[in-house]
Amino acid sequence: MDFGTIIAGLLTLAILTFLYRDNPIYKLAEYLLVGVAVGYALVIAWKSAMVDLLFTPLFGQGDWSLLLPLILGLMMFGRFHARTSFISRVPLAVLIGSGAGAAVPAMLGPRILTQVSGSVTPLVGTDGLPNWSGLIVIVGVLSTLAYFFFSREHRGSLGVASKVGTWFLMIFFGTTFGYTVMSRMSTFIGRAEFLLTDFLHLTR
């Protein structure tokens, strides 16, 4: 067994000790994970953003248009001191403003219009029979939207529609819950398989 497998196995067991209760071994592994993850993110960001997107084109190929993002990035360091922290608002403003500007058409197209057009399907099939599933989708979308409509009190027909909407929402939450649990379970099975096969050699 190689050294890497021993370390990975011991750290996996350290994390699993949390199933008993919070303890120093788990806490040690948790702090190590946070530290290593921050270090990893820092290195990857440095390589993929700073070196590949900024320093190489700017200083290697003379692409002076990248001076602006460099200056904006350096302005972020204003955060290090309370007196200069206001400077960091400018790069944040660029991020937030450009993100908001790009989000307007992006939300209109793929988010809203695609979902609306996907919900509207023919209610009678080519064989002349009603398309019950399509009807359920339309009723579900409209009633769920009625549930989230807070400009009027949920009474009368709006009350009935919002009540039906909650039933559709419950089905959504139930199926999403089931999927989440099963995906986590499959990850756990993967970890258990690693422990039993590669680390402890109890199974083949």
Partner 1 sequence: MSRRVAQIVCAVFGVLMFLLFFSGHPTAKAITLAITTQYWQVIAAFALIVGAVSFVRVNVKAIQRRQDIPFRAIGLLGMISMPVLAIGWGIGGSSPFLWVFENIQAPMQSTVFALLAFFVASASLRGFRARSIPAAILLVSAVVMLLSRSWFESTTSSFLLTASDWLRNYPSMAARRAILIGIGLGSLTTSLRLIVGIERTWLGGSR
Write out the binding residues for partner 1, residues 36-75 only, by CB under 8 A: 36-50, 53-54, 65-66, 68-70, 72-74
Provide the H-helix boundaries in the chain: 3-16, 24-45, 67-75, 89-106, 114-119, 132-147, 156-193
Alpha-carbon radius of gyration of the chain: 27
Question: Token digits for 9?
Answer: 């196995």
Nearest approach in angstroms of CB 25 to partner 1 is: 11
25 belongs to the binding site for partner 1 (CB under 8 A): no
Name the DSSP class of 130. Answer: B
* Residue 159 binds partner 1, judged by CB under 8 A: no
Q: What sign does the dihedral 162-167-170-172 (CA atoms) show?
A: negative
Q: Is 131 in the site for partner 1 (CB under 8 A)?
A: no
Options 59, 130, 167, 203; binder of partner 1; rule CB under 8 A:
167
In the window 80-119, what residues touch partner 1 (CB under 8 A)?
80, 85-105, 107-108, 111-112, 115-116, 118-119
- Joined together, the tokens standing for residue 176 give 């999403």
Cβ-Cβ contacts under 8 Å for 168 (sequence gap 6 or more): 140, 143, 144
Applying CB under 8 A, does 1 fall inside the site for partner 1? no
Choose the binding region for partner 1 from 122-130, 142-150, 152-160 (rule: CB under 8 A).
Answer: 142-150
- Residue 23 in 3-state DSSP? coil
Looking at beta carbons only, is 11 or 158 nearer to partner 1?
11
CB of 160 to partner 1, least distance (A): 13
| Amino acid letter, 188 | F
The Cα 14–Cα 32 span in angstroms is 11
Among 1, 33, 124, 160, interactor with partner 1 by CB under 8 A: 33
Taking the C-alpha atoms of residue 108 and residue 124, their distance in angstroms, rounded to an integer, is 29
Contact set for partner 1, span 168-187 (CB under 8 A): 168-182, 184-185, 187
Q: How far is the CB of 71 from partner 1 (least distance, A)?
A: 10
CB of 153 to partner 1, least distance (A): 19
Please report, as a single letter, which amino acid is at residue 124.
V
Nearer to partner 1, 177 or 203 (CB): 177
